[in-house]
Amino acid sequence: MRRKTSVSRYLLLCVGVAILAGCAGTEEKKEKTDTYLQLGIRYMNMNRLELAKENLEKALANDANNAAVHNALAYLFEKIEKFPEAEAHYKKALQIAPDDLGAQNNYGRFLCDHGDTRQGMGLLSKAMGNLLNDRQWLAVTNAGLCELKDGQNSRAKAYFKEALLLKPDYSPALLEMQKICYQNREYWPAKSYLQRYLASGVPHTAQSLWYGMQTERALGNIGLAQEYKNLLLEKFPLSDEAKKAEPVQ
């Protein structure tokens, strides 16, 4: 009997060691995947897309069922305009984690950009309505952009305003409000949104300079309009906005 007990204890010890080894292996695999994922995202933010792709593919090879990896790869494929691959990875991310806020937001925006505003708004609504979402302004702004693509300017404006209530210095929403106000001939509010946009610490874009130039022209501030035009031609000479910039009288 004592011999049997000894064997039983040995087997339990082996099982314990196996579990610990498995846990260590799982943790090591997760750390490795996270490292490749973070490197991929960092390189993507630096616009070093080949290195980003290399690291994200290593992350995927290490863990093919990681929703965050699929979401990041989808976004990368968007950037390099490989849209079927992007959509496949967005779908996989949501198949793995249907409530993943990042995937809902990104795939919703992707669908809106590619004409499926109904399904896109459905995903964005899920991201907006999730009480655990501590960055709701991202989905709300994307919903506004989606409404713009559907020609729903008033509803888009409401979304952008809501985004700015959630995060008053969110530059994409500020820029969209600048554009909408200018298009509605609300020139002083357009000027105010541009000032808030610049105060948020982001640099000018071709669009912000073009709308700034047009707004100042409408307000009669010809000197400031010319300054915006000069900056536009200097910083973004090949942009569509530079090509359509008219001489300031």
The per-residue pLDDT for range 158-195, each reduced to its tens digit, is: 999 999 999 999 999 999 999 999 999 999 999 999 99
Q: Is residue 190 part of a domain?
A: yes
Span 53-63, average pLDDT: 95
Span 107-111, average pLDDT: 96
Q: Look at residue 118 in the predicted model and tell me its pLDDT.
A: 94
Closest CA to 102 of 70, 78, 79: 70
Q: Is residue 107 part of a domain?
A: no
What domain range includes position 240?
168-249
Question: Domain tally for the chain?
Answer: 1
Confidence of residue 2 (pLDDT cuts 50, 70, 90): very low
Q: Is residue 49 part of a domain?
A: no
Q: Look at residue 24 in the predicted model and tell me its pLDDT.
A: 54
Q: Look at residue 18 in the predicted model and tell me its pLDDT.
A: 38
Q: Look at residue 238 in the predicted model and tell me its pLDDT.
A: 93
Tokens (6 digits) for 204: 């000018």
Q: Is residue 26 part of a domain?
A: no
Helices and strands (H and E) in the chain: how many: 13, 0
Span 223-249, average pLDDT: 88
Cβ contacts of residue 186 below 8 Å, gap of 6+?
A: none
Q: Whole-number mean pLDDT of the chain? A: 89
Q: Is residue 213 part of a domain?
A: yes
Using the structure block, give the residue that is written with the tokens 């039983």: 8
* % pLDDT > 90, the chain: 82
Q: Is residue 192 part of a domain?
A: yes
Q: Look at residue 247 in the predicted model and tell me its pLDDT.
A: 57
d(CA 133, CA 4): 56
Q: At what angle do helices 83-96 and 67-79 cross, to 10 degrees?
A: 160
Q: Is residue 233 part of a domain?
A: yes
Span 36-47, average pLDDT: 94
Q: Is residue 31 part of a domain?
A: no
- Mean pLDDT is lowest, of 18-27, 175-184, 193-202, 208-217, for 18-27
Neighbour count for residue 108 (Cβ, 10 Å): 27
Residue 11 pLDDT > 60: no
Q: Look at residue 158 in the predicted model and tell me its pLDDT.
A: 97
Residue 82 pLDDT > 50: yes
Confidence of residue 246 (pLDDT cuts 50, 70, 90): low
CA distances from 191 to 141, 152, 155, 177, 209 (A): 20, 23, 21, 10, 11
The per-residue pLDDT for range 142-159, each reduced to its tens digit, is: 999 999 999 999 999 999
Residue 125 pLDDT > 70: yes
Amino acid at 230: N
Span 203-228, average pLDDT: 95
Q: What is the CATH number of the domain that holds 187?
A: 1.25.40.10
Residue 130 pLDDT > 60: yes
Span 200-227, average pLDDT: 94
Span 222-248, average pLDDT: 89
